[in-house]
Structure 1
Amino acid sequence: MSMVTIQQAARRSGLSEPTLRYYEEVGLIGPISRDPSSGHRRYRERDLDDLQVLACLRAMGVGIEDMRTYQANRARGHEAAGEQRDLLLRHAERVELEIAVLRVHRDYLERKAALWDARERGDVAAESEAQARVAEITPRLEAMIHA
């Protein structure tokens, strides 16, 4: 059985060493085996698989409690399939909302850039049109800021 150090586990998972220690501390992984002579952590392939899953969940913005639920459901196997699906779909909905917000942000930035482009070119008609387009999106942006 191949065992790796915390540094190697961090490199392979993309998670920092403090994050690996924290995930063990809060029960997301482990307990991690220790080298009998040094006491240093030694990660097994199963631990590395768990870290890959957690790294993906973290990258998607999944919080610690949902990570914990996800890991517990993984251990339960098929009987937890519905719960896993529901957990992931909740996060997919959150991501969809974030995408909508980012689209409004992008549209605002593009419209403001068009305004400044028209000003730089001295194109009064294009500037007026761009100003109207900025004014059109500003209420949506303000609503998101105050939500």
Structure 2
Amino acid sequence: MTLMTIQDAARRSGLSEPTVRYYEDIGLIGPVAREARSGHRRYGEQDLDTLQVLACLRAMGMRIEDMRTYQANRLLGPPASGEQRDLLLRHAQRVETEITTLRVHLEYLRAKAQLWDARARDDAADEAEAAARVQAMLPSLQAVVR
């Protein structure tokens, strides 16, 4: 079994070294093997697998508490499948809501850019059309801001 330094584990997982240490400190990973003489951490393939999973969950915006639940369910295996599914579906719903919000923001930005483009070209008709589009979007924008 090949053991890795924290630098190697961090690089291969996509996490920073401080994050890897933090995840060990709070029990999301580990305990991690240590060299007897130096006390330096040494990560195995299973540790790396766990770090890569955590990196993905973190990238999706999952909270630490939900990461803990996810990790506990991974260890439980099939008996925790339903809870694992529900946890992931809750996060999928949150991501879907974020995507919807970002689409509204994107459309608003494009409409405002169209308005300013019309002003730069001194095109009153296009400016009025863009202003109407911006006005029409305000209720949607306000709804996602709340």
TM class by shorter chain equals over 0.9
Residue 140 of structure 1 deviates from its aligned partner by 2.1
| Partner residue, 2:57 | 57
Match of 1:37 in 2: 37
Residue 116 (structure 1) aligns with: 116
- CA shift digits 1:106-139 (9 cap, x unpaired): 0100000010111111111110000000011122
Letter in 2 for 1:81: S
Amino acid paired to 2:37: S
AA aligned to 1:108 is: Y
Matched, 1:27 2:33: no
Give, as a single letter, the amino acid of the residue that structure 2 aligns with 1:136.
A
TM-score, length basis structure 1: 0.97
Percent sequence identity is 68
Distance 1:84 1:29 in 2: 18
- Provide the C-alpha distance between the structure 1 equivalents of 2:49 and 2:143, rounded to a whole number of angstroms: 42
Deviation string 1:73-102 (CA, Å, 9 cap, x unpaired) is: 000111111111100000000000000110
1:131 matched to 2:125? The reply is no
CA distance in 2, matches of 1:102, 1:143: 12
Task: Name the CA distance, whole Å, in 1 between partners of 2:42 and 2:117.
Answer: 57
Cα shift readout 1:48-89 (whole Å, capped 9, x = no counterpart): 000000000000001100100000000011111111110000
Provide the C-alpha distance between the structure 2 equivalents of 1:144 and 1:60, rounded to a whole number of angstroms. Answer: 20
2:12 aligned residue = 12
- Measure the CA separation in 2 of the matches of 1:142 and 1:69: 34
- 3-state SS in 1 of match to 2:103: helix
The amino acid that maps onto 2:40 is: H
Matches within 5 A, 1:30-109: 30-109=30-109
Aligned residue pair count: 146
Counterparts of 1:89 and 1:37 in 2: how far apart (Å)?
Answer: 45
Supply the AA of the counterpart residue of 1:36: A
Aligned amino acid, residue 131 of structure 1:
A
Ranges in structure 2 where 5+ consecutive residues have no aligned partner: none
What is the distance in 2 between the residues matched to 1:91 and 1:143?
21
SS in 1 for 2:55: helix
